[in-house]
Chain A
Amino acid sequence: MFDQDTICAVSTAAGVGSIAIIRVSGKDAIGIAGRLFDSKGNVKLAHVSSHTIHFGWICDPESGERIDEVLVSVMRRPRTYTREDVIEINCHGGIVPLKRTLKILQREGARLAAPGEFTKRAFLNGRIDMTQAEAVMDVISARTEKSHKAAKEQLEGGLSKATAEIREQVIGLLAGVEATVDFPEEDIETPSGVRIEKEIGEIQKRMSQLISRAAYGRLLREGIAVAIVGRPNVGKSSLMNALLMRERAIVTDIPGTTRDVIEEGLNIDGMPVRIIDTAGIRDTHDMVEREGVKRSLLALESADVVLTVFDGSEPLHDADRFVIEAVGCRKAVIAVINKDDCKRKLESLPALQKHVIVSCKDGRGLEILKREIVAAVTQEAFVRSDHAWVINERHREALEQAAESMERARRSVQDRLSPELIAVDLRDALDQVGTIIGTTYTEDILERIFRDFCIGK
């Protein structure tokens, strides 16, 4: 369990705008990363020599979709930090593609590293020398301390209660199933398949609520991703600068100034926000600009809130219509009508309900826009102020796997499988929940059986 498998983690702090590195270590590291990596020259990671760097794309092997442009370093054991095969993925696309890459790595067979685990492996495999052993232990305990502290803070905020309730519910359900197995001669009323199914359904619902709250937690931790899109020259970069109140992006009157995605952090009413300026969207033959447009569309895809910018001093262009189309209606979208200091020529925007009129030149409307940005995410159904606690990646992953186990259990019930087989999946779910709070449960199940059922032949 501890050293045979392949682990992955983001190894530089996931700061805004910086390049992040995902590190993968273990016997399948190269195989797993190879399934995600796509290079134009058709480089196969499995065949490249050790300690080489390769340019290419991270693609989702299931959908073929491109996630991020990356540099991948391949380092074969034993000359690596952990003395295992190590892959480092330098990601450029910011936090959202980073997260997706990490998730796909997990789907392909890696697991998130425990605190200090790379260092631990380095030590266990003889990479780090004796004098540093104490330091290794410090790292493990300090990191653990830190994540415990973080976890505890979250736990006090409500995650613990919610998870404990789910766990109790699964244990109660399992107790019924186990009681039919272990006490067949007792005169006890054990749950019917229909009731078990219903109960599983309820538990699944609670799990998915918790998981969706994880999304809100992510917003708090990583910031609301706000993408500014629009056709060229409407004032997207100007809007970014105005919101940041500094000259971060280059502004010119030449359409097609911005060629790549720019990201910058900002705080609105205590909510962390990441403003993402993009290249103007239009049909173009310029190779570089085309790449930029592609990235704008990607940013659009992964943003939490989209600001669609229009130039109020001009009538609606075909390019504007194209943008409206591309944005669609599945996101929190705010139409921003810019250049209100000039004479208004733009008439109507039928497809978009919410719009804010601003001028980047004199600053009017910007405060209203800020309020709307925060309102857009906080109005989403899953978010209410009493759930303002954060659940981290590891917890979310555990809950997702637990939910999958519950689903398997549900199918087993439907297929009328014997109770001990249903129990296998329920126990798996408990194992997963156990990684969030408390790890053992045999005693708890027995406790529940003897509490809920009159046993005693």
Chain B
Amino acid sequence: MNEKMRYDVVVIGAGHAGCEAALAASRMGCSTLLLTMNLDTIAQMSCNPAIGGLAKGQLVREIDALGGEMAKCIDRTGIQFRTLNSSKGPAVRGTRAQADKQRYRIAMKDTLEKQTHLDVKQGLVERLLVEDGKIQGVETNIGVQYKSGAVIVTTGTFLKGLIHIGLAHYPSGRAGEFPSVGLSDCLRDLGFELGRLKTGTPARLNGRTIDISRMKIQEGDDPAPFFSFTENTHPLIQLPCYLTYTNPLTHDIIRNSLDKSPLYAGVIKGIGPRYCPSIEDKVMRFSERERHQVFLEPEGLDTEEYYANGVSTSLPYEVQVQLYRSIPGLEEVEIMRPAYAIEYDFAPPTQIRHSLETKKIAGLYFAGQINGTSGYEEAAAQGLMAGINAALKTQNRDPLVLQRSESYIGVLIDDLVTRGTNEPYRMFTSRAEYRLLLREDNADLRLREQGRKIGLVDDAAYALYHEKKREIERELDRIKRTRVKSSEQVNNMLRNRGSMELEDDASLEQLLKRPELTYRDIAAISPLEKPVLPEAAEQVEIQVKYEGYIQRQLRQVERFAGLEQRSIPDDLDYDAVVGLGTEVRQKLKQVRPISLGQASRISGVTPAAISLLMVALEKRRRTGGSQPKTNA
């Protein structure tokens, strides 16, 4: 049998984006090839051994609801699970897990290898094959060509990666790995604009040389929360993290070595993330602080390596040794892998559509860090959507574009393609204008149907979702209709909860609206023969307690929906729109928004400009302007 040289979809790079992309496309029935530089670094976590957190947890749950893999993989290989913000409202709770890095990687590789329609091969892609503005395939550094009408580039930090440690620097895609140089040049030759970003990672320390007795222990939650809607066990032993602090001595060491910092010496040109500064940045920018937190996170069960969260740096190795050893509990520490900063090329994401297909070359998709994002979850979310959309395209189906009002994934992609980014983009809950609607707990209610429709949600998962949904509806209806009469027993309970006693009667729903009462309380007043699923009970409680705010956000969504639905054809001639200012015109031409809603989010586009666009669109419609192309 000849080797297969033609695929429906080819994915370049098996990072977090690439893995989701390859799985989605193949699960949707496309013959798919995943090509990556090194099969032993599939789904490698380049930086911290953790998945989830605020907004990121939401992304992981959404990936799961749509039928992606990340949530399942981390549930199976996590060694500590916590819910952040558990004291705040449900919309801003975030699940976070410490991962066993190696097991995560191996579990993902295993899933990929077992996937039908998917081939996983080692290979370094150097060239994209393009004809007539359409992608034709890829070519590796050893001259092998694979043909395909859909190619997804998910090369992470590897494009012209340049590692800095002190004033020393060398080309590398990630510590110990080659950079990807040819592909970067090829993209430039194809006419893509590339920019430069920077990120960094702290040292890995040998746990045998850490004195944990001087640190605060941080355990996971018990019971441990889950990311996936369908997983129900955490098979691995759970481990704690440790908290210690830097001190004035640490800060002096840093201040005295700034001349050897590539950042401060001006060697690094790329822009780094503000939310993930190096320790030298923190010390310089917040000089009044006497200490900064250092979290020591285990990298896995089969290793002594610890990740020193909070002290990423690009200072020279000898300074790193000094600075880590100035921290209480780390006096004797051995660095196993030094901290470093890395600069890399990215493609400013206003060059892609909401489907993640590039505007320039049909069938070519970008996902993950190449689009200027940072973070495993952001990468995985884009990978999933690129895989879905590449598959849909090969099947001649419309692209799947998620709305800002239904998902963080929608916010992520819309932000990228609308505004671009000039620092590594990370998701925050504050980026979502409908934050109260986009919760971890309802990711399935928001997205399962869509996952099912494209063919990524299996029967079992879909049935589970349906059952939950049915129970929520039934219980919401019941508590609305069930009235509780004033009685000694009920009033006793109310008094115990510090709640007002009943004079005559009230519905269960009215009682649940009281801040001091929980669903459990009202379920106890009027118990069901068979209690509802805990997930359903949680939904009932949230939907009743936050109804006012939820309704308010829903009204905002509705108010804006008219603009979101008004699509702008891809070939609208902005030069012919009378009255637009030059700057606005320029921006519109660059972004080419798909809807008036998106246009309104471009910085500088005023309501008046939107009015002008409306008139232009109507004019075009009446003159029977060429049929709007489907675009995304």
Contact = CB atoms under 8 A, between A and B. Distances in A.
Interface in A417-457: 418-421, 423-424, 427, 439-440, 442, 445-446, 449-450, 454-457
B429 A457 contact: no
B85 A456 contact: no
Contacts of B296: none
B275 A421 contact: no
Contact of B430 (A3, A136, A445): A445
Contacts of B601: 440
A454 B291 CA distance: 11
B276 A456 contact: yes
Contact of B608 (A4, A140, A457): A140
Contacts of B611: 2, 114, 116-117, 120, 140
A48 interface: no
A153 interface: no
B310 interface: yes
Given A1-B560, A136-B615, A424-B552, A182 B286 contact: no
Nearest to A435: B607
Contact of A418 (B88, B275, B560): B88
B603 A141 contact: no
Nearest to B82: A185
A137 B54 CA distance: 45
A181 B309 contact: no
**Majority SS of interface residues in chain A?**
helix
Interface in B420-440: 428-431, 433, 435-436
A181 B85 contact: yes
B426 to A, nearest CB: 10
A216 interface: no
B464 to A, nearest CB: 29
Interface string A110-148: 000011110010011000001001101110110010000
Contact of B292 (A4, A182, A442, A454): A454
B452 interface: no
A420 B436 contact: yes
Interface string B82-96: 001100110110000
Contacts of B400: none
B603 to A, nearest CB: 6
B429 A420 contact: yes
Interface in B269-290: 274-277, 281-282, 285-286, 289
A1 B563 contact: yes
B562 A1 contact: yes
B615 A120 contact: yes
A311 to B, nearest CB: 56
A350 interface: no
A299 B467 CA distance: 67
Interface string A1-18: 111100000000000000
A283 interface: no
A440 B622 CA distance: 33
Contacts of B291: 187
A455 B279 CA distance: 11
Interface residues of A, number: 46
A36 B559 CA distance: 25
A341 B578 CA distance: 66
A144 B606 CA distance: 10
B578 A457 contact: no
Contacts of B143: none
Interface in A173-196: 178, 181-187
18 contacts: A2-B611, A4-B562, A114-B608, A133-B615, A134-B578, A138-B578, A141-B612, A144-B579, A144-B606, A182-B55, A187-B292, A419-B92, A420-B436, A424-B552, A454-B292, A456-B276, A457-B295, A457-B309
Contact of A141 (B430, B579, B610): B579
Given A114-B608, A138-B578, A3 B562 contact: yes
A440 B603 contact: yes
B623 interface: yes
A184 B562 CA distance: 36
Given A136-B615, A424-B552, A1 B431 contact: no
B615 A124 contact: yes
B224 interface: no
Contacts of A1: 559-560, 562-563
B293 interface: yes
Contacts of A178: 428, 430
B53 to A, nearest CB: 8
Given A1-B560, A181-B54, A185-B84, 10 more contacts: A2-B562, A4-B562, A178-B430, A182-B428, A182-B429, A420-B436, A442-B430, A450-B274, A455-B275, A456-B275
